[in-house]
């Protein structure tokens, strides 16, 4: 019982500590990167339970801001190989369990 209690505590700790957005890979310029990251965070927080809506929101906002055509993948586990326009890719983790990949390719 004590072990599970500790486990829970650790889990809570983990969730608290690992809630920040962590950019794994990006080749965007600084300003764009920050904006995109904030957008992703907003979308993931807004649609915490529905990744599809979050992805849709990110895609539409990005299309508006930086021109078409953007692609967004959000999920807890996936693999991908994408071709993207240079300086238009962001791959980040968020909330301890989500991976978000945003790229542009028209």
Chain residues that interact with another protein, rule: CB under 8 A:
14, 17-18, 22, 24-25, 27, 75-86, 89, 91, 93, 96-99, 101, 103, 105
Judged by DSSP in three states, 104 sits in strand
* Smaller CB separation from another protein, 65 or 67: 67
Phi and psi at 80, nearest 5°, equal: -155, 155
* Smaller CB separation from another protein, 56 or 73: 73
Give, in order, the Cα–Cα distances in Å from 10 to each of 2, 65, 93. 12, 40, 20
Question: Closest distance between another protein and the C-beta of residue 101, in Å?
Answer: 8
In sequence order, the 6+-apart residues with CB closer than 8 A to the CB of 47 are: 53, 54, 57
* Smaller CB separation from another protein, 1 or 17: 17
Question: Closest distance between another protein and the C-beta of residue 54, in Å?
Answer: 15
């Amino acid at each position: 019982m004590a072990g599970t209690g500790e486990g829970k505590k650790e889990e809570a700790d983990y969730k608290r500590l690992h809630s920040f957005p962590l950019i794994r890979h990006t080749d965007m310029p600084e300003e764009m990167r920050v904006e995109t990251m904030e957008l992703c965070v907003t979308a993931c927080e807004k649609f915490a339970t529905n990744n599809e809506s979050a992805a849709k929101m990110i895609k539409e906002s990005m299309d508006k801001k930086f021109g078409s055509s953007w692609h967004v993948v959000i999920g807890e586990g996936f693999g991908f190989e994408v071709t993207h326009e240079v300086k238009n890719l962001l791959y980040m983790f968020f909330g301890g369990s989500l991976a978000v990949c945003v790229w542009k390719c028209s």
